[in-house]
Structure 1
Amino acid sequence: MSYVYVAAFTGNIISFIAATCLTWTSPILSQLQDKDKTPFSSVLTDDETSWISSLLPLGAVFGPFVYGYLADKIGRKFTLLICGTPFLVAFLLLAFGKALWMYYIARFISGMSVGGVFTVMPMYVGEIAEDSNRGALGSTMNVFICSGLLFTYSVGPYVSMVALNLTLALFPAAYLVLFFLLGPESPHYYVSKHRNEEAKAALQKIRGGGEEAVDKELSQIQEKIKEEGRGTFFDIFKSKGLTKAFIISLGLVGFQQFSGINAVLFYASTIFEDAGTSLDSNICSIIIGLTQFLTSFVTPLIVERLGRKVLLLFSAVGMMVSEVPLGVYCFLNDKGNDVSAISFLPILCLITYIITYNTAYGPLPWAIMGELFPANVKSIASSVTAAFCWFLAFLITKYFKAVSDAIQIGPSFWIFAGFCAAAIPFSFFYVIETKGKSLKEIQDILNS
């Protein structure tokens, strides 16, 4: 097995950690509002719990700029290692904190690291991968994310908050050791810093091929970076190709967020309770997490065969089709109609939603973003795109509960379905196909 898989898998442990933070609120919020389980002197209000949920994506707005800057200054590897430290601090604060401000700080700093992970990890994997496996390797990030989501859903409801947070703290501790020992630096970073001997050594370790093949790839990287030079944010708008790449990236993460994914992840238990489904809400959340985990293996296997656009179209249609009947069910239930005969519908619709989301609009925006931008603007473009994504996530997680209380949860899902419908023409007409193409070929297509 090529060492590139060892590097990608070891590095992606931090993606697992980031995901545990995303679903941490689902089993925990109900405990914080239970006077017998909360660590605070009084139970939290809905507004306070909404801040605990939304401070993570708010922190993630700033994370891409901090960690994106570090990725260019000190390298992808050491940036990812620094990114892991706040997770460890945050979980310890959540385990032993007795004041609300400690929880706020923990969620914000872990959010900054989440934003960093979603910016630097696609960059890192995109640079160490080969043209033939870049899509598959990029999609493995989603496997680790879904593993983390499932872990919190499965363990969180059945252990104390202290036990959960101490368990979660073990993962960043292990990651810091493993990735430091096993993770190579990106050859692209070394070349950009004129450290060509180190770049060659990194390539030999990652590829495991002969010296001639390594020298050839090193020469290609040198030529590519030499042509690109050093860019700024405003350079994105100086060429048609880069502007289009930026719009594609913003569009993909925008439709990803407005499909409603973070509302589902952060408030899974609450959604099932409000929908009045016959199954226990925690069991429903575990089913959702398990579905997401199992389907996360599909995209890496088929993305290089079917291509990005086909999967994006399937994903958008599937999410729309699943959210419309879910909205109808919730609307009828809120109006006092007897929906006991179709009480299975919420879990069925959300399973369908998760399967189709996980096929493309979950993993592919980040993988495609890593393919679209040349090295000179990749860091800043990725940072801005990720910040935009997390700002939308902040708005949705902060105000979803308030909006769904005001207009009811059914119409909320219809709004999400409307955005999924809009994603269909965007995916078909504007997104370019990157399957099997080199980074240079992708730039040529964007500029054509």
Structure 2
Amino acid sequence: MKISAGVNSKVKEKKPIFQYLAAFTGTLTIMTSGMHYGWPSPSLPILEKMVNSSLVINHDEGSWMAVMPLLGALIGALIAATIVDILGRKRAIYITCFPFFAAWIMIAFAKSLPILYIARFIAGISDGWAFTAVPMYIGEIADPNIRGLLGSGLSSAWIFGILLINIIGSYLSITTTALISSIVPIVALLTFIWMPESPYYLVMKGNHDEAKKNLQTLRGKEDVDNELDRVSLAVKAQTQNTGKFLDLFVTKSNRKAVYIIMTLRGAQQLSGTTAITFYTQLIFNEAGDDISSELATIIYFSVQFLLTIFCSSIVDKAGRRPLLITSLLGSAVALFCEGSYFFVKTRTDVDTSSFSCIPVISLIGFVIFFSSGMQSIPILMLGELFPANVKAFALCLADMYFCIMATIVSKFFQIVKDSCGIDVPFYVFTASCLLGLVFIVLFVPETKGKSLEEIQLYLGGKTGREKRGEKTGKVEV
């Protein structure tokens, strides 16, 4: 009995280890993406101050430099949607390391603006590819009780990448920063290549033996027959008809999931988060506080990183909806305070020197609330809401939608700031947060603790079955 108890205890203790390792090494590609996205914040002020150089840029060229990865991500998402069910989730993820690495090398030795544009476009292709494959992979390998934690880790890795590039880029040259950054995709490749393939994908390909082996590795136990049967039934039910892009809109459950994702990603981007990420140092320069813009930027992203980790640790306990609602409400208040400060400073004769800390406090307040829900949960739910036969198309569509929205919002910020004043975009972002709050309250369901199969039952309108399943601990499929 003692030996048996010891073995059971050991198995239980190691249960999530490979799930954590697979999720962590996979999200290193997302961290690289964050570094590319955050690169304009410390780098654009350097490029704009250059004289007698072929790399000197103006505000408009800088704005296109900032959004270039978003345009590349449109292509990357389309490619990933085509090949992720052919190559597999694992291969699709580690292949992104090569263009990520190439983009950093091009940035390091660029002698002209077109080379920088091309490099950032290539990085965007990898980004769209990674943000299609990684959420899918994590959603399929994770236990329901830790899926929220692992899925939210995508945002934590992305924000850490933005923080890291702001720290390095604020104090080192563009060339040195790029060369140091190129190490990350190499580490991602060398670590993730050893991780197991998604059991869902292997079952889709009829490789049940390998799927069982990978489930045993991921769960840390030998007896996975029940889970393998459940996965097999779910995949069979979801893939009995070959998925098509139009199935996202023809099938009721898929259509409902698309509406939910569009609502979440739309509310996320219309809050202005990507524009603020691109222009953080510029915003703090405009504020004119005593604290340096570099230090304020590092504090901003440090707070965002820590709060995103905190959200990841509680999302499986607090639930998705409460965090989303709190996040948007607090973000709206912080953005309104930010806009009001700039309104008073630029449009009135009031001396704001005694209140110059307000924009820093307001933006940090925004990042605290935004990171407590809206930063990570929309990405987490990408891997939860769609069945296997259309998941690649869904994640492709969601990433394309994100890129279009983020590009529009970022260009909107630059154009409106230059033509109407910096206070105007912050007021628009405030109104957008309040509108998004209404839509989330009305349309976004709670997925906490539900298996991927239970979520599909809910989206299909089978709420009675789902409730009976929650009471008995079983789900009718």
Q: Is the 8 A contact 1:56 1:112 kept in 2?
A: yes
Distance apart, 1:42 and its partner CA:
5.7
Partner residue in 1 for 2:357? 344
CA offset at residue 393 of structure 1?
1.0
TM-score relative to the length of structure 1: 0.96
- Give the aligned residue type for 1:329: Y
| 1:314 aligned residue | 326
1:272 aligns with 2:284: yes
Letter in 1 for 2:229: S
Distance, in Å, in 2 between the alignment partners of 1:278 and 1:422 is 35
The two structures have a TM-score, normalised by structure 2, of 0.91
Whole-angstrom CA distance in 2 between matches of 1:429 and 1:179 = 39
Q: Which protein shows a greater Rg?
A: 2
Q: 1:68-147 to 2 correspondence within 5 Å?
A: 68-147=81-160
Report the AA paired with residue 430 of structure 2. A
TM-aligned CA deviation for residue 122 of structure 1: 0.8
Aligned to 1:425: 438
**Deviation string, structure 1 residues 211-247 (Cα, Å, up to 9, x no partner):** 3xx1211111111111112211111222322211100
Residues of 2 paired with 1:19 and 1:42: CA distance? 23
Q: Deviations over 1:367-419 (max 9, x none)?
A: 11211111111110111011001111112223421211111111110100111
**Is 1:334 aligned to 2:346, yes or no?**
yes
Q: Which ranges in structure 2 are unaligned for 5 or more consecutive residues?
A: 1-13, 462-477
Q: 2:210 aligns with which of 195, 198, 203?
A: 198
Structure 1 segment 176-255 matched on structure 2, within 5 A: 176-181=189-194, 183-211=195-223, 214-229=224-239, 230-255=242-267
How far apart, in 2, do the equivalents of 1:54 and 1:282 lie?
Answer: 21
TM-superposed CA distance for 1:277, in Å, is 2.2
Whole-Å separation in 2 of the counterparts to 1:175 and 1:136: 20
For the aligned residue pairs, the C-alpha RMSD in angstroms reads 1.3
- Equivalent residue, structure 2, for 1:368: 381
Please state how far the C-alpha of 1:80 moved relative to its aligned partner: 0.6
**Is 1:13 aligned with 2:28?**
yes
Moved more, 84-93 or 137-146: 137-146
Secondary structure of residue in 2 paired with 1:360: coil
Partner residue of 2:399 out of 377, 382, 386 = 386
Match of 1:29 among 44, 55, 70: 44
Which stretch shows the higher mean deviation, 59-68 or 11-20? Answer: 59-68
Comparing 396-405 and 183-192, the one that deviates more: 396-405
C-alpha displacement at 1:268, in angstroms?
Answer: 0.4
Q: Does 1:324 align with 2:339?
A: no
What is the CA distance between 1:112 and its match in structure 2?
1.2
- 1:397 paired to 2:407: no
Query: Matched residue pairs, number?
Result: 443
Is 1:19–1:149's contact at 8 Å kept on the other side of the alignment? yes
Q: Deviations over 1:180-225 (max 9, x none)?
A: 12x21111111111111111111111111123xx121111111111
Residue type at the aligned position of 1:300 = S
CA distance in 1, matches of 2:35, 2:339: 27
Q: What SS does the aligned partner of 2:372 have?
A: helix
- CA distance in 1 between counterparts of 2:158 and 2:38 reads 11
Conserved 8 A contact 2:55-2:113: no
Q: Judging changes above 3 Å, is the alpha-carbon distance between structure 1 residues 173 and 234 closer, same or farther for their aligned structure 2 residues?
A: same
Would you say the 8 A contact 1:61–1:387 is kept in 2? yes
Provide Cα deviations, 1:284-341, integer angstroms capped at 9, x if missing partner. Answer: 1011011011112211221111110000000110110100011000111112431112
Percentage identity across aligned positions? Answer: 37
- Mean Cα displacement is larger for which, 88-97 or 274-283? 274-283
**2:54/2:113 contact within 8 Å kept:** no
Cα distance in 1, alignment partners of residues 76 and 68 from structure 2: 12
After TM superposition, the structure 1 stretch with the greater mean CA deviation from structure 2, 232-241 or 83-92, is 232-241
Counterpart secondary structure, 2:96? helix
AA of the residue aligned to 2:25: T
1: CA distance between counterparts of 2:417 and 2:171?
Answer: 28
- Determine the C-alpha separation between the residues in 2 that align with 1:429 and 1:100: 46
Runs of 4+ in structure 1 over 3 Å off:
none
Which amino acid in the other structure matches residue 220 of structure 1?
A: R
- 1:67, 1:83 within 8 Å by CA — same for their partners in 2? no
Find the counterpart in structure 1 of residue 302 from structure 2. 290
Distance between the aligned counterparts of 1:410 and 1:30, measured in 2? 21
Cα deviation for residue 59 of structure 1 reads 0.8
- Counterpart in 1 of 2:469? none
